[in-house]
Structure 1
């Protein structure tokens, strides 16, 4: 469940305090707060001399702010993450091998992929180093019981 709450926190973080949606064309004021470029401009549109930060009211001289490229990249990434509801469903399901319809309980260290017991004996993976793990281990923060075998 820690994964689901962390995901929810991560998805809530990059929001604009003005429109409460994901930041679009993120900019940072001198006070260090992030806003949508268009929203902060709207907020300061009718002001003349003092441009207060909408969060902390610290004055921002000359309507100054910087484009926050790093936030823009992070927001694009966060938008593509599954929703917390999708994650809850995913955590309850045990992933199955598409080919053999068995639970994926092995990890091929050479090919970096999950395998079912039947995949282990296939010609593709029979001599690869494998880790035995609990089926839900990748979703539980790494609490897997791994034993390595040649």
Structure 2
């Protein structure tokens, strides 16, 4: 698992933050971030004085781009490595039973686990409802959909209520401000004698 994470991190480091593809003709800018030569040229095309880094927004004083041949060489090596994505996809297509090394094509409704044909007829699952994985998936999708629809409705209702509250709130704030202005205005316009009485003179 640690190897897969390290491999994914290495592949990310060898990718351009602008096009998200492997770096082509990598260059390093003033702040130290790396980009494809063509990507950073395109990003800075219409700029004249300040050239912000697309990652950290550091203001680079000029278009000084340093070719990074070591990073280019490293990217070529990383391209040759197997991607974690394709490995994971292959595993998902043919999951195998750890006990019997057979394809997990059955689903136990009692234990909620995948089984191979041999596990499906074992004493552990003999009295359980065991169905083909495709059939179980379709059934559980329908069940999930029946839960999701009411939740979607609740989210839509909550969103509508929030929009109504947001629309109302400026009016309420304006009314409160108007009331406060009126109170302050009446306090400043009260006769001088009343002010003196209020402050005890």
| Structure 1 length-normalised TM | 0.55
CA distance in 2, matches of 1:67, 1:13: 16
Larger Rg: 2
Q: Distance in 1 between matches of 2:66 and 2:52?
A: 15
RMSD, aligned α-carbons? 2.2
Aligned residues: 92
- C-alpha separation between the residues in 2 aligned to 1:69 and 1:43? 21
Contact 1:26 1:72 in 2 (8 A): yes
Deviation at 1:82, TM superposition (A): 0.9
Q: Which has the higher contact order (CA 8 A, sep 6+)?
A: 1
Give 1:86 deviation, angstroms: 5.1
Residues 92-107 of structure 1 mapped to structure 2, 5 A cutoff: none
- Cα deviation, residue 11, structure 1: 1.3
Structure 2: unaligned runs, 5 residues or longer: 96-201
Q: 1:36 maps to what in 2?
A: 36
- CA drift of 1:13 comes to 1.6
Paired residues of 1:4 and 1:87 also in contact (CA < 8 A):
no
Alignment-derived partner of residue 9 in structure 1: 9
* 1:61 CA displacement: 2.0
Contact 1:24/1:36 (<8 A) preserved: yes
SS at match of 1:9: helix
- Inter-partner Cα distance in structure 1 for 2:47 and 2:84: 40
Larger proportion of strand? 1
Question: TM-score w.r.t. structure 2 length?
Answer: 0.42
Q: Give the equivalent residue in structure 2 for 1:72.
A: 72
1:15-54 to 2 correspondences below 5 Å: 15-54=15-54
